[in-house]
Amino acid sequence: MTIPVVDLSDFTAGDRKLKDSFVQKLGKAYEEVGFVAVKNHGIPDELIADLYQYVQEFFSLPSDKKRSYEIPELAGQRGYTSFGKEHAKGSDAPDLKEFFQYGQTVPENHPLKPEYPDNVSVAEVAGFNETLFKAYRAFEKSGKSLLQAIALYLGLDEHYFDNQVEEGNSILRAIHYPPITVEPKSAIRAEQHEDINLITLLVGASAGGLEILTKQNEWIPVTSLPEQIVVNVGDMLQRLTNNQLKSTTHRVVNPPRELWHTSRFSIPFFLHPKSAMDLSALENCVDEKHPKIFEDITAGEYLDERLREIGLKK
């Protein structure tokens, strides 16, 4: 399946007609599919290449070295999470992956500092920490532009989301799906799920496997070109828009048997707002035909609930 492709430079270049067209194309895609591929996204190719290089070096470290960066009390929100710890909501089967998470950084005297633990610094891979920080800021910038377009599509002020996502609780996650060495119990590497956050920006997974569930209840592989990133709606944005924008179910499947010996690397950026953001349905997304579906909740409360459901928080 070729998911809709949008050009972010149409939104950021300043031409009113191109900007309006981008807003409509993005909004319609998020109503109908929930996923888009974005070109001219503003994240430099060199930064992406460095990011993948250092991530692969980290996951190549010995297991005991990686586990030294695992801090259980942080519920996987910073540092390393070892293989098989996370599972999809509603599933007991662990996903066949290990990952490393990098979060928001604010000054020591910042009011939000108590909410944001320090990031876990890796000593063995030169450039790892600095590159994660640079990538985090680049993803934030691109994600903010996309949310500005979404705001306009929803009839809101263009900058509706700006203050909520600046210094928000976003997460950059580097995922490693190791080679398959024994006959797997399932064809699934990561069970079907929806993302928790507002939007997810995914930069070039190193191998195929991503599939989305269509409205016809069919699993379809998703592919994008190397210069594109894939961006999908998360549950927080679905709640906020009272189901107008779709948080599409997706999964990662095992490769063909001849590729079992290979690893898969994937680096999504989960764009979260500040924890205090109210996710109550927007007034202009509720009417007689579309009654309010979800209970009122803040972003922080919802994240906490979901982290418990997927096994990262006890």
Tens digit of pLDDT at every position of the chain (314 positions): 568 999 999 999 889 999 999 999 999 999 988 889 999 999 999 999 999 999 999 999 999 999 999 998 887 789 999 887 766 566 666 677 899 999 999 999 999 999 999 999 999 999 999 999 999 999 999 999 999 999 999 999 999 999 999 999 999 999 998 888 877 776 676 778 889 999 999 986 545 788 888 888 889 888 777 888 999 999 999 999 999 999 989 898 888 888 888 888 889 999 999 999 999 999 999 999 999 999 999 999 999 888 888 777 66
297 backbone dihedrals φ, ψ, rounded to 5°: -165, 155
How far is the C-alpha of 22 from the C-alpha of 228, rounded, in Å? 16
Tell the residue number behind the tokens 């876990």, with chain if given.
120
Q: Please state the pTM of the whole predicted model.
A: 0.92
SS (H, E, C) the chain: CECCEEEHHHHHCCCHHHHHHHHHHHHHHHHHCCEEEEECCCCCHHHHHHHHHHHHHHHCCCHHHHHCCCCHHHCCCCEEECCCCCECCCCCCECCCEEEEEECCCCCCCCCHHHCCCCCCCCCCCCHHHHHHHHHHHHHHHHHHHHHHHHHHCCCCCCCCHHHHCCCCCEEEEEEECCCCCCCCCCEEEEEECCCCCEEEEECCCCCCEEEECCCCCEEECECCCCCEEEEECHHHHHHCCCCCCCCCEEEECCCHHHCCCCEEEEEEEECCCCCCECCCCHHHCCCCCCCCCCCCEHHHHHHHHHHHCCCCC
Find where tokens 């006890």 sit: 314
Q: Are 222 and 214 in contact, with CB atoms under 8 Å apart?
A: no
With beta carbons less than 8 A apart as the criterion, state whether 158 and 152 touch: yes
Token pair, residue 305, equals 């609930």
Residue with tokens 């989305």: 212
CATH: 1.10.760.10, 2.60.120.330, 3.40.50.10860, 2.50.20.10. Which one for 5-309? 2.60.120.330
Greatest pairwise CA separation for the chain in angstroms: 58
**How long, in residues, is the chain?**
314
Beta-carbon count within 10 A of 142 CB: 23
Q: Is the Cβ–Cβ distance between 122 and 130 less than 8 Å?
A: no
* Residue boundaries of the structural domains of the chain: 5-309
Strands of the sheet with 188-193, listed across from one edge: 188-193, 250-253, 210-213, 219-221
